[in-house]
Structure formats: structure tokens, C-alpha cells
Amino acid sequence: MTRGITFLAISIMAAGIVISCKKKDPEPAPVFSFESVSGLVISDEGVKLLATNAGLCSLDVNQGIYVAVENELGSSALNDLIYSPALPEKELWLASDQGAYNFTVSYFLSSSNSGLQNDQVSQIGFNPDHTGFFASSDGLSLQNGESWSTYTGMDDFFLYHEISDIASASNGYTYVTTYGGGIERFKAGLDGISGATLMDSDWTQLESNYVYSVYIDDTTQVYGTDLGLGFHFSEYTKWDWEVYTTADGLVNDTVLSVVRDQSGNWWIGTANGISMYDESQWVNYTTGEYNMSGKAAKYLALDTDGSVWMASDQGLSHFTDGVWVAYPKASN
């Protein structure tokens, strides 16, 4: 009898432990909801991070849901996100109307504790020398270590034209694109700005001064405009250009984003689908024929395995093994 009671007691205790464990299972993370996307990066560990109007989120690929990533900006709208060059490690930066936030080290920059000229930071960029460029309506605030400076562009160029993107080449040149003014190129060093040059439709082979984005491959610059795609292969403003439009095979003339994969193929995100260009032929992908989350490919990024991800305001899409897989955002 005693043996039977002991066995029963052990069974009850075991059942209690199971029940207790079940009660302690974590609640599933609430699904993150957003209306628009303002940036996409993929970490070295393969985490897909989106800047949105509702804050920072990541994609849980296994569950196909978006999850909030906690940080000091909370649910504030983000304007941009970018990884800085390795310092010894890359740092994730977020741009917002409250300032710039270094997510990696949990440090917040504002006009009250740094050399930022304006808390409303729209874009962030870095050059190979680790100089940071923080764009606002007051131009560029430059940070190099503890040193800060301000640059408003040639003849106050950035005060008259909103900055749309920032990227730097391996030769030290930084390229700043604008909505309506074209591009300014310069070098930023400890002695200040040098080699500043304006690159607009009068001095380049670009058809438009409305430039959405710039992607740098070593020193080659690739510009997305509202009238096609422009490649520039040198530092000579007027020469060494190639421009492509729908007449050449591009899926749409409004080019929003560009990335180059490990095989040398160019992926071009447009307002109506994506074009892949291998420098001999074009392959176009649109929502009407492929399983993509949205037609406007606002941002492109490469995964750790070299595959391509696209961000639209409707969510992420992944191209792998010749197939598009959509990860739509939660419906409101």
C-alpha cells in the first residue's frame, strides 16, 4: 500500500511539474503592425530588420510574422537605418525626428548632447574613414570621433534640396542624392570638405535631377531616378555613363533601389516590380506573375547566403532558388 501511494504521489508531482512548465511557457510575441517602410538591413546573423512608421521590427521567417524590436525610440516613426563600417564591429544606427540612435551601444544623439544641427534626421551614411553623415533640413552634420562639423553643400545646395540618400566609395568620395537637385560629390576629412562637385542633368547623362537612391560598388555609382537607371564608372562628371530605361528592358522607369549580388547581377527595384540585369539581358519580376508582397520595391538587401530580399510597404519578399516567397504584413 505504501508503495502504491508513493508511486501515485510521484505521478502527481510529475504531472504538476508538466502543468507548471506549461503555465510558464512564454506568450507568443504580438504581431507588429506598420503602414510604411523606410529602410531594410540584414545583419551578419541573417536577421531582417525594417525601419517603419511604427518603429523597428524584425521578420520571424519561421512564423512569417513581424515582431517589434525594443529600443529607446519605441514606436516612433523611423526615417532610415544603416549599419556603420566595422569598428571592431558593425553598429546599427536609426534615424528619427528625435535624433539618431546607435542601437548597438544604446546611445542616443540629439542636438542637446552632440553636434547635430537638427534633431529631425532623415538619412544616415558613413564613409570608409568612419565619418558619419546625418542629414536634415539644415544640411549634413558630420561626426568623426569626438569632432563635429556642418556642411550645407556647395552654395547651400542641401538647404534647397531634400537629401534622399548617402553612400561612399572606396576612394573616399561621398555621394549625396537629392529630390530635384541631382547629386553632390565630395571628400570629407579631418581638414574639412574637398573636391565638391555638383552632378545634375546638365552635367551628366542622367535625364532627371529627381534621384531616389545611390548604390556604390567599389567606385562605380548606380543612381535610381524617376526617369531611369544611371551607371557612372569614373570620377569624370560628363563621361563614363550608361543610362537604362524601359526602352532597354527595365521593368519601370521609376527606380527606387539597387543592389548587386555575389554573382555580379544587378537587382533594380522600381515602382512596379524588380529587374535583374546580368549586363547582357534583363529578367523582370512583377506581382502579377510572381508571389511578391508589393509592387513598389523600395529597398533591396542581400542575405548571408547571397539571396535577395525586397521591402515594400506591404512587407518583405525573398528570392531564392529561382522562386519569390512573400511575407505580407499583418492586415489592420
The mean pLDDT value for 76-80 works out to 98
The type of residue at 30 is P
Which triple of cell numbers denotes residue 224?
535610381
Residue 6 belongs to some domain of the structure: no
* 301-323 pLDDT per residue, tens: 999 999 999 999 999 999 999 99
Residue 14 belongs to some domain of the structure: no
Residue 291 belongs to some domain of the structure: yes
For residue 196, the model assigns a pLDDT of: 97
Residue 48 belongs to some domain of the structure: yes
Separation CA 172–CA 195 (nearest Å)? 11
Across all residues in the chain, what is the average pLDDT?
91
The boundaries of the domain holding residue 267 are 36-328
Across the beta sheet with 147-151, the strand order is 123-126, 132-136, 139-144, 147-151
Q: Give the whole-number percent of the chain exceeding pLDDT 70.
A: 91
* 246-261 pLDDT per residue, tens: 999 999 999 999 999 9
Separation CA 140–CA 292 (nearest Å)? 36
CATH, residue 210? 2.130.10.10
From residue 22, alpha-carbon distances to 29, 63, 214 in Å are: 17, 21, 51
Task: Look at the chain and report how many structural domains it folds into.
Answer: 1
Separation CA 163–CA 191 (nearest Å)? 24
DSSP letters of 119-148? S---EEEE-TT--EEEEETTEEEEEETTEE
Separation CA 130–CA 87 (nearest Å)? 8
The mean pLDDT value for 226-230 works out to 98
Q: Is the pLDDT of residue 1 over 80?
A: no
Residue 93 belongs to some domain of the structure: yes
Residue 7 belongs to some domain of the structure: no
For residue 24, the model assigns a pLDDT of: 56
Separation CA 276–CA 269 (nearest Å)? 9
For residue 235, the model assigns a pLDDT of: 87
Residue 26 belongs to some domain of the structure: no
Residue 282 belongs to some domain of the structure: yes
